[in-house]
Chains A and B, each alone.
Chain A
């Protein structure tokens, strides 16, 4: 059973601070990694993708990937109340897995003003 694990939270962060979210995955054949943001009652929205080891920055978001440790993380800098949402980690297992995304259970983030 290929799994993606996340701490469910809630992760409470003061406004302006850095929120750090973690995700581990079990399938070493995984090839691409994604972070989605989901507001309550809404559909998931793709916010970051990362394919190779290291950091990838996009605005206030930084994704980090370490394939040796099977670990991917998301940093949200200068957190805003509008960042309060559930963040879903997703892993694409490649052709062998039918190129389907496997999702973690999500981490709920609360940014307090």
Chain B
């Protein structure tokens, strides 16, 4: 019973390139949250998706960032024209239903380094 799977674990991009981060939720889970963690900081909410829908993207920067969760396949967080300030750990979490009682299980994260 695989947990939340994220890949790649480490990603190095040059400034101006695109970064694609993938998150496969736990089996049967249709809700995905993405968080970003800058060095020495807590986790900051970015976006909440259900299958084929963006529910809340209030934490997502308005430019260069986008997210999707298609009917088939993993959720994708896409960062265009990366800058050094995008270097961070990006975590996703999933659960099967919305509800205040849920503490999420996180994937192992993708550590993005922009050089």
Contact = CB atoms under 8 A, between A and B. Distances in A.
B101 A44 contact: no
B44 interface: yes
B98 A102 contact: no
B43 interface: yes
A32 interface: yes
Interface in A60-113: 88, 90, 92-95, 98-106
Given A43-B91, A44-B91, A103 B42 contact: yes
Contacts of A46: 103-105
Contacts of A98: 48, 55-56, 58
A43 B110 CA distance: 10
A22 interface: no
B45 A43 contact: no
A88 B91 CA distance: 14
Interface residues on A, range: 20 to 34
B28 interface: no
Given A43-B91, A98-B56, A90 B103 contact: yes
B100 A88 contact: no
Contacts of B44: 103
B108 A43 contact: yes
A34 interface: yes
Contacts of B35: 103
A99 B42 contact: no
Nearest to B108: A43
A98 B109 CA distance: 22
Interface of B: 33, 35, 41-45, 48, 55-56, 58, 91, 98-109
Please provide the 4 A-B residue pairs with the shortest distance between their CB atoms, ordered closest to farther: A31-B100, A105-B42, A34-B103, A103-B42
